[in-house]
Amino acid sequence: MDPDEVEFLGEKSLVEIVPTFNSAPIYFIGGDVGPFRASIPIRVPLWVAVNLKKQQQCKIIPPDWMDLEKLEFLKEEEKSNKSFVKMPSDHYMIEAKLILGCAADDIPKTDEIRTIIKDIWDIRMSKLRSSMDDMIKKSAMYAAVDNLTLMEINSIRPLLPHALDQIYRIKTNKKALSNRSQGTTSTLSESRTSFSSKT
């Protein structure tokens, strides 16, 4: 999946804005948004917020987690923890990118926030690389990825699943010599081998 497709899914998460206009609700197929009253905060899908912001029709209120102190704490936690820490938002990277990208003027200390989110992302990326290597070394055909966000999961695709597919194929490719014929169909034989480290 391409990152912009993950972003597409993340854009549905809600974010608070302060509109500069008055308007009746918008009746989206995906649910009503509004009514809008100038200066009264309201929650809208991220893609709506970004579009309104680009037209100078609102201020975006940063999500609670987009706060330097909280992020510092999160970064330390991520650093000291061997496993992945649960992120405050399932789409933190997408929210950060889109909100900081268009509403820097609404958010204090944008640069610091941007840097620290990137730090957290980098720490997690490096953990991901070691986990992938571990998994391949053990040829593990199962892994829990509970605290990974969709964008992070997508960052190890296709490499990890494809490498495991190939390991499985090498492992199970044990057709008996007698019933083999060149260029048969691609069905895998069901026979198995006892080699490989136990997962």
Partner 1 sequence: MFAEKACNLIKELSRCEEVLPPYHTELVKEVCTEIKQLHEQNKEDGAIVANESSIAGYANALYPTLRIGSSAVKRNVRCLLAYHYNRLKTLRTMRWEFGSILPQDIKTNLSSDEIEWFTKYSRSFAKYMTSIGENGLNLCLDLRPPKSLYIEVKCLMDYGKFELSDGTILLLKKDSRHYLPRSECEELITQGVFQHIV
Partner 2 sequence: MLSTTSYQPNYFSIDDILATQERTPCKFLQNAPRMGKLNPSTDEKDLKAGTELELPLWLVLDASAGRQMIVAPELPKIYREAYREILKADATAVDLHKFNLYFYELGSYVKYFDRREDVHNILLHTFITRFRFIMDLANNADSDPTVQNRLDMLERRLFKSGHIARTKLNTWLLDSGAPLKAANMVTNHRKRKRVDDDLFA
Partner 3 sequence: MDEIDIESAINDVDIDNDEEVQLSLPEIIQLMEENWLNEKFSPEVLPNRMDIVELLLDQITTLENNLKKLSNADFKKGLYQMEVDRIRFLISSYLRKRLEKIETYSTVILEQEKSRVQQGSETYLSQNELEFAQEYDQSIREHFESIMRFCPGITETQLINPNLHTMVFLKSKEDIEGIVIDDGNDENDLIDLNKGSQVLISYKSVNNFVKSGNVHLI
185 lies in the binding site for partner 1 (CB under 8 A): no
1-9, 136-144, 171-179, 188-196 -> range binding partner 1 (CB under 8 A): 1-9
Cα separation, 178 vs 20, whole angstroms: 77
5 lies in the binding site for partner 1 (CB under 8 A): yes
**Total binding residues toward partner 2, as defined by CB under 8 A:** 41
Task: Assess whether the previous peptide bond of 108 is cis (omega < 30° from 0).
Answer: no
Q: What are the distances in angstroms from CA 111 to CA 36, 75, 101, 130, 151?
A: 30, 16, 11, 29, 22
182 lies in the binding site for partner 1 (CB under 8 A): yes
Q: How far is the CB of 190 from partner 2 (least distance, A)?
A: 16
Cα-flanking dihedrals φ and ψ of residue 74, to 5°? Answer: -60, -40
| Nearer Cβ to partner 2 (25/161) | 161
Cα separation, 143 vs 139, whole angstroms: 11
Cα separation, 80 vs 18, whole angstroms: 37
Cα separation, 97 vs 95, whole angstroms: 5
137 binds, among partner 1, partner 2, partner 3, none (CB under 5 to 8 A by kind): partner 2
24-32, 38-46, 77-85, 134-142 -> range binding partner 2 (CB under 8 A): 134-142
Choose which of 111, 146, 176, 179 interacts with partner 3 (CB under 8 A): 146
160 lies in the binding site for partner 3 (CB under 8 A): yes
Print the binding letters for residues 89-128 with partner 2: x by CB under 8 A, - otherwise: --------x---x---------------------------
Q: How far is the CB of 155 from partner 2 (least distance, A)?
A: 6
Angle at CA of residue 49, ends 121 and 157, nearest 5°? 35
Residue tagged 């975006």 (tokens): 60
Q: Which residues contact 62 (CB under 8 A, 6 or more apart)?
A: 99, 103, 106, 107
Residues near partner 3 (CB under 8 A):
1, 5, 8-9, 21, 23-31, 47-48, 51-52, 55, 57, 139-146, 148, 150, 153, 157, 160-162, 164-165, 167-169, 171-172, 183, 185-188, 192-194, 196, 198-199
